Each structure stands twice: as C-alpha cells, then as structure tokens.
C-alpha cells in the first residue's frame, strides 16, 4: 500500500543532541525520503502540530533541529530517547544544484539546519560550497562544525556581537565573496534560509551580481499539502507549502509581500 505523506506516521526518537542551551536536534529512527529544503509536520498528540525543516534524511535517520521558543517546541524538548512523535511529510519543494558548481549558502539562525542538509548533497555532487552562517552570538551558531567536515565546504561565520567570526552580518560576507569571484570561480547560485530581512538582502545581491538564487519562503502553514490555503502568498496566490518553501528568485520577485508582511493563523497581515 502507498504510504501517504498526508497521514502521520509514528517515529521513535533514537538520539537527542544538545546543540546549544536553546536548541536540540532530535534524531528519529527511520527515513521518510525527504530531500533538502523540504519540511515535515511534527505532531505531539493532544498539543499541536508544527512545520519543521528537515536537517538531514540519509535514508536511515531523520534529523529535526528545534529551538525551544514556544509551548510546542518546549514540550518537544521534554522528549527523550524512546519516545514517539508523529511525522507527516515530506512536504514542499527542494534546493537543487548541478555537479561541480560553486555555491553560496546563506543561513541565518535556525536556517542553518536545512542548508546543512543541502550542503551534504551538494558536497556529494562535487560542488564548492561557501557555507555562510550568521547568529546573534557564538553559542547560537548551528551546524558550523558538521558542515566544516564535508568535502568542498568552507564555513564562514558572522555574529552580531563579534564573539565568533566576522562582527556584523553574514550578508556582508556573502557580498565580499560575490565581489571577489572572477569569471573562473563565479558563484552559480545563492541558497538562503533564515530571517526574511536577510533573504531580501540575498535576493538584492543575486540581482546585483547576476546570480541565481533559491530562497526558502516560510509562511504560517497548516495542512502542508495545498488545500487549507493558509500559507498562500500574495501576488502568485499559491500555497507556499507546495509551491515552496524553496522558490527560485524570479518567482520570489513576483511575491509583493516578500520582505514586507506575512499572515497569522487567522489570515491577518503582520509586517516584518
């Protein structure tokens, strides 16, 4: 019988990794054949279900990296090895690249998790990868050490307070890389996931330097499979759970709300 991504499957927690004071990675026992950029709906019965980016699916394990910021994620942080959670998915579009390209991955905060997953795939394809991670402080940086272990990956770090790497924004590192790239080592594509203001910057730079970009547009999602309409973006009018989260630059430029506003669970607009 066909396995449906629209129905939850129970998955056992195999390992819990403390990434930082606020962030844990839950290693679930099993694969759902997710690809980089996709997300799952993680279900805690009796509480809620939330969309979570996939940090890795290697065919054996599923990694979900979660910050304890609200009631749901805090409840998730109480879970221990052996506990079961419900997973629906994978949902959404994927990051893509060609063999041997030079790529710039721009991650803000928790956006490092899905981009790490993509880096593992791009690394296998022999790409040269600039993995640029930004966070407020050193202890909030994610996936920098694991990414550094991948062949072809160079990690760049920016922190707001200068506690690690460049003091300032990760977009400044990206701009320097794009500026210094010559014809022989041009960056083929910028991949970005994180705060929307950062991704707006990345989109501007992609246009300025004539580079492609793939942008992970995150909106309030409910169903995950394109029927409830909750995550539709203005302009295109398409649900971002199936037409996104990953969208090419030219599609993102047709979304007038990008960088300006998003909607809550009632469909009401909120400015960034």
Q: Are 111 and 202 within 8 A, CB to CB?
A: no
For residue 209, give the DSSP letter: T
238 CB contacts (<8 Å, ≥6 apart)?
232
CB of 17 to another protein, least distance (A): 24
CB of 81 to another protein, least distance (A): 17
Binding flag, residue 50, another protein (CB under 8 A): yes
Binding flag, residue 197, another protein (CB under 8 A): no
13 CB contacts (<8 Å, ≥6 apart)?
26, 27, 28, 29, 79, 80, 81, 82, 83, 84, 85
CB closer to another protein, 21 vs 264: 264
Q: Which span sits near another protein by CB under 8 A: 5-13, 108-116, 201-209, 244-252?
A: 5-13
CB of 18 to another protein, least distance (A): 26
CB closer to another protein, 93 vs 123: 93
| Both structure tokens of 71 | 């009631």
- Which residues in the 64-93 window bind another protein by CB under 8 A? 84, 86, 88
- Kindly list the strands in the beta sheet with 61-67, ordered across the sheet, starting from the edge strand earlier in the chain: 48-53, 39-44, 84-91, 9-18, 23-29, 61-67, 56-57
Binding flag, residue 6, another protein (CB under 8 A): yes
> In the set 223, 241, 249, 252, which binds another protein (CB under 8 A)?
223
Taking the C-alpha atoms of residue 50 and residue 194, their distance in angstroms, rounded to an integer, is 17
Residues binding another protein (CB under 8 A): 2, 4, 6-10, 41, 43, 45-50, 84, 86, 88, 222-223, 225-230, 232-239, 242, 263, 265-268
């Amino acid at each position: 019988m066909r396995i449906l991504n629209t129905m939850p499957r129970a998955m056992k927690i195999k390992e819990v990794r403390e990434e930082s004071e606020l962030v844990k990675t839950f290693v679930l026992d099993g694969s759902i054949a997710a690809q980089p950029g996709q997300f799952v709906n993680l279900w805690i019965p009796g509480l809620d279900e939330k969309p979570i980016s996939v940090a890795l699916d290697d065919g054996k394990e599923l990694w979900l990296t979660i910050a304890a910021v609200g009631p749901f994620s805090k409840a998730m942080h109480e879970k221990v090895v052996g506990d079961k959670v419900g997973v629906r998915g994978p949902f959404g579009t994927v990051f893509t690249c060609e063999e041997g390209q030079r790529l710039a991955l721009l991650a803000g905060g928790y956006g490092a998790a899905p981009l790490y997953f993509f880096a593992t795939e791009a690394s296998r394809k022999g790409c040269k990868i600039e993995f640029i991670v930004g966070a407020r402080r050193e202890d909030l940086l994610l996936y920098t050490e694991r990414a550094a272990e991948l062949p072809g990956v160079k990690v760049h770090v920016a922190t707001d307070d200068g506690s690690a790497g460049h003091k300032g924004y990760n977009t400044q590192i990206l701009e320097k890389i794009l500026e210094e790239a010559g014809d022989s080592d041009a960056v083929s594509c910028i991949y970005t996931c994180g705060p929307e203001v950062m991704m707006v910057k990345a989109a501007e730079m992609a246009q300025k330097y004539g580079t492609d970009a793939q942008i992970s547009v995150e909106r309030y999602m409910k169903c995950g499979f394109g029927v409830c309409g909750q995550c539709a973006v203005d302009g295109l009018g398409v649900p971002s759970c199936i037409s996104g989260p990953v969208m090419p630059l030219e599609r993102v430029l047709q979304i007038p709300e990008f960088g300006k506003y998003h909607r809550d669970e009632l469909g009401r607009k909120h400015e960034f």
